[in-house]
Amino acid sequence: MGLLDQCQALFNTSSLYGVLGVSKEATDSEIRHSYYKVSLRVHPDRAPEDLQATEKFQVLGKLYAVLSDKEQRAVYDEQGLVAEESDSLQQDQCWEEYWRLLFPKITLKDIQEFERKYKGTEEERQDVMQIYLQHQGDMDAIMASALCCSQEDEPRITALIQTAIQAGELTAYPAFTQESTRKKKTRRQKADEERQEAEEMQREMGLNDADDSLVMMLKQKQKSREQNLNSFLSDLEAKYSKGGKAKAGGKGKKVKTSNP
């Protein structure tokens, strides 16, 4: 599956700019800032309960690699195509290391601090409005896409959108204004199930402290799987190729986005 198809499957849009919530005219600085914000939302450390978090994080890395490269961005802007064979999009790229090179000082504590300062700001309001327009009022997609949001934030996000609609800043999409009680209930149940699954995994691992617990154990399990895969690939390469080692794997009305 190509990068554009992956974006559609994971972020509900095949537009590289749409995934980041910026316009095609966005500056390099705006793209970098938006990449940082969206990658925080799907970073495996931030969303250990999201089974697709790692995949989303990897796709974001590829996306940013394209848009931060002048030549690749120019081709995408002109033709709507991505050079899948380019070195920057190779499957064995370790996107966690790539992210750390861009943001070397970011820790889980930094992510939590960012979330604390971000919530309730004008920047968050603008981001939510952009996502609302992108998904045409679909609250399932909005809650899945909104930065630093959990099920507990839904009443606050809903109120923010309603206020913007009343002020004439947003279109009143039926998907939002006429959402059924059944759909709301289903969304809450899904969120509850995901939270319970994460808590159950934590109990099974015998962990108590949230700071050390699930995040580190999930990362260790993922690292173990990657090491096993890399060992297997290395054995195959040694057996069937001449030499070398396998690399360690690793819509609607526009709303002005905030500058970094």
pLDDT band of residue 232 (cuts 50, 70, 90) is very low
- Give 231's contacts (C-beta < 8 A, 6+ positions apart): none
Query: Are the CB atoms for 7 and 15 separated by under 8 Å?
Result: yes
The residue among 137 and 188 whose pLDDT is bigger is: 137
Q: What is the pTM of this model?
A: 0.48
Q: Take residue 74 and report the two structure tokens written for it.
A: 């120019």
Can you spell out the DSSP letters for 204-228? HTT---TTTSHHHHHHHHHHHHHHH
Q: Which amino acid is present at 217? A: M
In terms of C-beta density within 10 A (0-12 exposed, 13-18 middle, 19 or more buried), how is residue 97 classed? exposed
CA distance 144 to 194: 13
Query: Are the CB atoms for 107 and 115 separated by under 8 Å?
Result: no
Q: Enumerate the H helices of 68-173 as residue ranges.
A: 70-79, 95-102, 108-118, 122-134, 139-145, 154-166
Q: pLDDT per residue over 7-17, tens digit each?
A: 999 988 999 99
pLDDT band of residue 116 (cuts 50, 70, 90) is confident
- Give 33's contacts (C-beta < 8 A, 6+ positions apart): 259, 260
Domain ranges of the chain: 3-102, 109-205
Q: pLDDT per residue over 22-32, tens digit each?
A: 899 999 989 98
Instruction: Tell me which fold the domain 3-102 belongs to.
Output: Helix Hairpins (1.10.287)
CA distance 216 to 230: 21
Q: Take residue 143 and report the two structure tokens written for it.
A: 């809650």
